[in-house]
Amino acid sequence: MTAVRDDDRILQEVADALRARFGDAVLGTASAKDGLIVRLDPSVLRAALLFLKEEQGFNALLDIIALDRLKTAPAGPRFEILYQLYRFPAGQRLRLSIEAAEGREIDSAQPVYKSADWAEREAYDMFGIRFAGHPDLRRIYLPDEFEGFPLRKDFPLEGTKRGL
Amino acid sequence: MSPFVAELLIPVFKILAIIVYPMVMVIVMIWLERRVVAWIQGRIGPNRVGWQGILQPFADAVKLFFKEDIIQVNADKFLFNLAPVLVMASTLLSFCFLPLGEPIRIGTYELKLWVAESPVGLLLILGLSSISVFGVIFGGWASNSKYPLMGALRSVIQILSYEIPVGLTVLSVAFVSRSMDLVEIVRRQESSHVWYGFLLPVSFVVFWISGIAETNRAPFDLPEAESELVAGFHTEYSGFKFAFFYVAEYAHMVMISSLLVVLFFGGWLPPFPNVKFLHFLHLLPGFIWYLIKIMFFLYCYVWIRGTFPRYRFDSLVKLVWKWLIPLSLVNLLVVALLGSVL
Amino acid sequence: MAFEEIELNMGPQHPSTHGVLRLKLRVDNEVVLGIEPVVGYLHRGMEKLWESQTYHQIVPLTDRLDYIASVSNNLAFVLAAEKLAGVEVPKRGQYIRVILTELQRLASHLAWVGFMANDIGAGTVLLYGFEARETILDFFEDYAGARLTVHALRLGGVPYDLTPENTAHIRAVLDGLPAVLKDIERLLTGNRIWKQRTVGVGFIKADDALEYGLTGPALRAAGVDWDIRKRHPYCSYEDFDFSVPLGRNSDLYDRYLVRLEEMRQSISIVRQALDRLPEGDFRAKVPRVFKVAPGEIFHSIEAPKGELGFYIRSNGTDKPERIKMKSPSFINLQSLELMCKGNLFADVVAILGSLDIVLGEIDK
Amino acid sequence: MKAIVRFLKKFFLVDLLVGLSVTLRHYFSRKVTIQYPEQVKTPGTRFRGLLRLYRDEQGEPLCIACKACQRICPTGCFDIEGVKAEGAKILRPVKFDWTLDRCTFCGLCVEVCPTAAIRFSKEFRMTSVEKAGLRFDMPGMYEEGAELQKHLCGGCLP
C-alpha cells in the first residue's frame, strides 16, 4: 500500500507545480477515493494539459467525462467536465475538473491528446458541450438529425414525444 | 453394331454423360466439402437430408432455383447474364478431353471413354480454363458494384500469375511423354513403368499449388474472400445464376483433380500396372481407380481449405514470381537436359 | 497506371466488422488511404438508463456491454461502486472474483484468436477456440446459471460459494486448455501464410499508442508495460505470481503472441487462486437499499480488451447521479486509421480483428 | 547450419505439414455437436431458465405478494397485486403477471424472494409463435412441462 501513499504525495507535487504555473486559475484541489482532483479554470485548460503532458509526463488521456449538474447544483455552471490523465510508466492518475456554463465553448483537448477526439465528440453528442478547435465535432452515436442531448438531466428518460 | 448406333446414338449418349458426370461429381464434392470441413472442425455437418445428408446439395439447388433472380438496375445486363454461362460452359467443355478410362470393347466396336480426342487436348483444357476467368471478370465488372469489381481485379492478377507455372509444368510433362494428347500421356505412364508424379515431383507440386490457385480455392480464394470482399465477384448474383458460379467452381475443382490424376498419377491405371503379382489390382475397372484418385485430390482440396489462412494478394503474387516460376523453369531445364541426355 | 480513388463502404452488414460497425474507407484499388469508423448502430443509451436504476440493478445491465467478457464488466462496475461506498469484500470473495474474471479472460481471448484467424481465412481455428471456450461457458452455466450474460458478481462479493464440485470442474477445464492452445499454435504460430499476413502489419509506435489512448494487449504488444493488475492491484491480484507478456514489434503477430501468453498466465493465476482459496465468507453484507454517500470515483480494471473503467458520481440515494464508462474498444478503435493507412484492404480486416473490439461496448 | 535447416524446413513445407497433421487428427477425433431435438444438453445446476412460481408441500402458494421482485427487477417485467383475505394473516397474490419478453434472466428476483416462491426452472425452450405466449398470468406461472410448452407455442410442438 506504500505505492498508493507515494502516489498521493507525487500527485500533490504535481498540483503544486500546476498552482505555481497557473496561479489563480487553479481553483482548488480535492482528494477523491481514487486520487487527486484538480479544479481548473476553463480558460487555462489547454495550457494546463500541455504543461502536464510535456513537462509533467502525463502522456495519456484515458477519458473525458461530462456531467450535467442541473439537479445537484442548479445555481452554478451547468456542466462539469473531467479529464482522466495517466502518467506512464510511473502510473499515477490525475483528474482535472473544469466547469462550463451552458453554451460556453471549451478548448478542445484534441490538439494535445489524440485520444480526446472521440471522447469530445461523445460529450458533444450527449450533452451538447461544444469544444473549440476540435477538427470534426459531429454527433458520434446518434443520427445527425437527432434533436436534443440525451444525457442532460432534462431529457426525458422514456424518449421524446415524437418517439425515438 | 449398326453404324447408326455407333455414329449417332453413342456420341449423343456421351455428350449427356459428360454433362451428368461432372454434375454428379460436383454434388459429391459439395457434400464432401461440407462434411469434411465439419469433421475437421469438430462438427458433424449436414446429415439430415437423405442418407448422411447426401441430398443436401439437391436441397440447396432447389432452394436456389426458386429464389428471386435479382439484376441490379445499373448492371450491364448482357455481360451480367453472360458471365455465369461462360464460366459454366468453359468448365464443362474441358471435361470432353478428359479420358475416364480404358476403351471398352463391345464386339467389334471400341467404346472410348472420352468425348473428343485431340492431339493437343492438354492445350485445349488450359485454354478453356483461361476462358472461365473471363466469366469471373465479366461478372465482377457487370455487377457495377465495388466489392465484385475488386474481386474481379484480384482474379485477373491471380490468373495472370498462375497461368505461367501451370504452362511450364505441363510443358515438362509433355517433354517426358512427348505428347500433348491426354490418352497418350496415360499410356506412356503405363509403358514407362512409372507415374509422372514420382518422376517429376517438382512439376507435380507446382502444378497442384497452381491448380488450387486457379480454382480460386483456399488458401488462394482471394477473388471471393468472404471476410474481406463479402462474396467477391459474385456478390450481386442470386438464385440460379449464383448456382451456376457455385457449381462451376466445384466442377473446375473436379477438372483440375482429374488433370492431376491424368498427368501425374496414371489416369485410370491401377498402382504398379506392370508388376506381375499385383495384377489382381486390375480386377477393379480403370474408371474406379480413376475415381479413387480424383477423390483423394478432392479430399485434399477440402483438407487444405480447413487448415490454412488466406494469402494476401501481394504475397500470393510474390509466391508465384519468386518461387513457383523460377522453380518450374529450373525444373523444365533439368527435365529437358536429362531427357536429351538419357 | 493511375487509379481512381474510390470510397468503399464496409458494413454495417459485413462479415468481418464484428457486429454493426461501419467503416468508410477511401481506397486506391486495394491500398487504404483513409478510414473513418462510424459507430452508434448499437447505441442503447446505457448511461442514461443507469441513472434511473439502483446500483444492484445496474450490475446485470453491465453484462450487455462487452458481451464476450461479461464478468469483467461486472467486476469493473462492482469494484467502483464498492470502493465508493467503502464496502470491504472478504478475501474468499475476492479470490473467487479473480477466478471468474480470469476464466472470462480466457474465454474472451479464445474467442478472439478464433475471430482473428477467421478474418484471415483460417476458419477452423475459430471452431477450435470456440470449442474450448464452450467448456468455460459450461462452467459459468453451472456456477451462475447463464453462459453469455453471466451476471456472476454482486455488490459485496459473489452470489455463490465455490463448491468442491465447482473447483473440480474448473480444474478439468484448465487441464483441457493447454492442448487447445498447442493446437492453435501449431496451426498458426509457425505457419508461413499466417506470418505473411501478420508480421509487420498494423504497426503503431509506442508513443502513438499512448497518445491515442490504446490499452490492453494491443498496447502491450507495442512494448508498453501497462497492466493495471500489476500497477493498481484490485481483488488481491498482488497475491498472485504472474508475468505481463510484452511484444516488441507492435504488429499483429505480436498481439497474437501476447494474447496467447496472457492465456497461459491466466491459467496459472486461476490455478494459484484455486490452490490458495482462503476460507471464510464469500460475500460482504450489503443492504438491499444500497445508498452511497455523495462522492465520485474512477476505477478501472484490466479487462480482456484493455482498460475498462467506470466513473461513478453518487448523490446520496440508491441511484447514481452519473456513470461514465471508459470502454477500451471505443478508445482503441480510434487508432484504426493510423494503423491501416498505406496497408492493403485485406489488412484492414485483420487489423480490425486484432484490436478485439466489441460493438456492445463501443456503442454502450 | 541453422540457416540451412531453416531453408530446408521452409522448402519442404514443414510448417504447413504440421498444420495439416493437426486438422487430420481432429478429423478423426470426437465431434462436439449436440444434435438438438434428439439430444438435449442437460442444463447446469443453477441454470436460469423460465421463471416459475412454486407451492409448498401442502399445495399452498408460497408467494406472499410482497413485491420484492417487482421492486428489484431492472426491466420491470412483473405486475403483482396482493389481497389479504378476510381473517387471513398474510397477503396472497391475486395478480401475478410476468412479461417474458422483457426479462433479462438476471436472477435478482429469485435472490430477493423471502419465501423462495419464485425460482428458475430448467425450461429453456421459450419460443412463442404469438405475443400472447410471452405473457404469463398467475395460473400460467405455475404451469410446467407440456402444459407450459402449450402455453408458449400454442401447441405447435408435437
Kindly write down the DSSP assignment for every residue of B234-283, as one continuous string: GTT--HHHHHHHHHHHHHHHHHHHHHHHHHHS-TTPPSSTT-GGGGGGGG
**Nearest 5°: phi and psi at C27?**
-125, 150
Specify the pLDDT at position A4. 55
Chain C residues within 8 Å of chain D (Cβ atoms): 53-54, 56-61, 63, 124, 128, 131, 134, 138, 141-146, 149, 151, 159-160, 183, 186-187, 190-192, 288
In tens, the pLDDT along A70-88 reads 877 778 788 888 888 888 7
Q: Mutate which of C47, C48, C335 to test chain A, going by most A C-beta atoms within 10 A?
A: C48
CA D127 to chain B, closest CA, distance in angstroms equals: 23
Q: Are strands C295-303 and C306-314 parallel, antiparallel or unpaired?
A: antiparallel
- With an 8 Å Cβ cutoff, are B41 and D26 in contact? yes
CB contact under 8 A, C226 and A88: yes
Count residue pairs from C and D with Cβ separation < 8 A: 71
Enumerate residues 6+ apart whose C-beta is below 8 A from C209: C218, C219, C222, C224, C250, C335
Mean pLDDT of the region C148-171: 88
Q: Which of D44, D48, D112 sits opposite C138 (nearest CB)?
A: D44
pLDDT at B119: 79
The three cell numbers of residue A136 are 470534426
Q: Which residue has the cell 502491450?
A: C220
Contact D18 C160 (CB under 8 A): no
Interchain CB distance below 8 Å, C40 and A72: no
pLDDT tens, residue by residue, C274-290? 888 888 888 888 888 88
User: Which chain D residues touch C151 with a CB distance below 8 Å?
Assistant: 106-107
| 3-state DSSP assignment of residue D55 | strand
Per-residue model confidence as pLDDT tens digits over C77-133: 998 888 888 888 888 888 999 999 999 999 999 999 988 888 888 888 888 889 899
Give mean pLDDT, residues D16-41. Answer: 84
What is chain D's mean pLDDT, rounded? 82
Domain ranges in chain D?
A: 1-32, 51-153
Q: Residue A55's pLDDT band (boundaries 50, 70, 90)?
A: confident
Instruction: Give the contacts of A44 (CB within 8 A, at least 6 positions apart).
Output: A22, A25
Residue A116 has phi, psi (to 5 degrees) of -75, -15
> Which residues of chain C are within 8 Å of residue A117 when distances are taken between CB atoms?
334
CA atoms of B146 and C278, how far apart (whole Å): 60
Chain B nearest C-alpha distance from C30 (Å): 8
Domain ranges of chain C: 5-363
Q: Report how far apart the first and last C-alpha atoms of chain D are (Å, whole number).
A: 71
Residues 6+ apart with CB under 8 A from A158: none
Q: How far is C294 from chain B (nearest CA, A)?
A: 49
Q: Report CA C41 to chain centroid distance, whole Å.
A: 20
Res. C2: pLDDT tops 70? no
Residue type, C174: L
Q: What band does A164 get if pLDDT is binned at 50, 70 and 90? A: very low
Between B197 and D67, the higher pLDDT residue = D67
Compare CB distances from C127 to B43, B308, B309 and report the shortest one's residue.
B43
The amino acid at residue A86 is Y
- Omega of the bond prior to B219 within 30 degrees of 0, cis? yes
* Per-residue pLDDT, C3: 58
Contact (Cβ atoms closer than 8 angstroms) between residue C89 and residue C54: no
Give residue-wise pLDDT tens across range D84-122.
877 777 888 888 888 888 888 888 888 888 888 888 888
Identify the band that residue C1 occupies on the pLDDT scale cut at 50, 70 and 90.
very low
Which run of H or E residues covers position C187? Answer: helix C164-188
State the best of D12, D15, D17, D27 to mutate against chain B, taking most chain B CBs within 10 Å: D27
Q: Do D20 and B42 touch (CB under 8 A)?
A: no
Cβ contacts of B213 on chain C, cutoff 8 Å: none
C-alpha cell recorded at residue A95: 483528474
Compute the average pLDDT of residues C323-342: 87
**Residue C10, burial from CB neighbour count under 10 angstroms (0-12, 13-18, 19+):** buried
Which domains does chain A show, CATH number per domain? 2-132 (3.30.460.80)
- The percent of residues above 70 in pLDDT, for chain D, comes to 97
Number of continuous H segments (helices) and E segments (strands) in chain B:
14, 2
pLDDT of residue B1: 55
A52 Rama class: left (phi>0) / alpha (psi -120 to 50) / beta? alpha
Instruction: Indicate if the pLDDT at residue A2 is higher than 60.
Output: no
For chain A, helix (H) and strand (E) counts, in that order, are 3, 7
Handedness of CA C201, C205, C208, C212 (dihedral sign): positive
B186 Cβ contact partners less than 8 Å away, ≥ 6 residues apart: B99, B262, B266, B267, B268, B269
- The CATH number of the structural domain formed by C5-363 is 1.10.645.10
Q: If we measure between CA atoms, which residue out of C242, C63, C280, C277 comes closest to residue C166?
A: C277
* A10 at C interface, C-beta within 8 A: no
Q: Which CATH number fits domain D51-153: 3.30.70.3270, 3.40.50.620, 2.60.15.10, 3.90.550.10?
A: 3.30.70.3270
CB contact under 8 A, C322 and A140: no
Query: Can you give the pLDDT at residue B168?
Result: 87
What pLDDT sits at residue B134?
85
Q: Residues of chain A with pLDDT > 70: what percent?
A: 93
| Confidence band for D57, pLDDT divided at 50, 70 and 90 | confident
For C311, the enclosing helix (H) or strand (E) is strand C306-314
Q: What is the pLDDT of residue A161?
A: 62
Shortest distance between the Cα of C188 and any Cα of chain D, in A, equals 8
Q: B43 touching C, CB under 8 A?
A: yes
Collect the ranges in chain B with pLDDT lower than 50: none
Confidence of residue A1 (pLDDT cuts 50, 70, 90): very low
Q: Searching chain C, which residue's CA lies closest to the CA of residue D19? A: C187
> B residues 135-194 near C, CB within 8 Å?
146-147, 150, 153-154
Nearest to A62 among C213, C296, C363 (CB): C213
What's the pTM?
0.88
Instruction: Give contacts of C192 with chain D, Cβ < 8 Å.
Output: 10, 15-16
Write the single-letter amino acid at C332: N
Nearest to C84 among A33, A60, A140 (CB): A33
Closest to C331 in 3D by CA, of A64, A129, A94, A132? A64
Q: Do C122 and B308 touch (CB under 8 A)?
A: yes
- Quote the percentage of chain C above a pLDDT of 70: 99
Chain A residues within 8 A of C307 when measuring between CB atoms: 62
State which residue of chain B sits closest to C186, comparing Cα positions: B307
Give me the phi and psi of C352, to 5 degrees please: -60, -40
pLDDT at A160 over 70: no
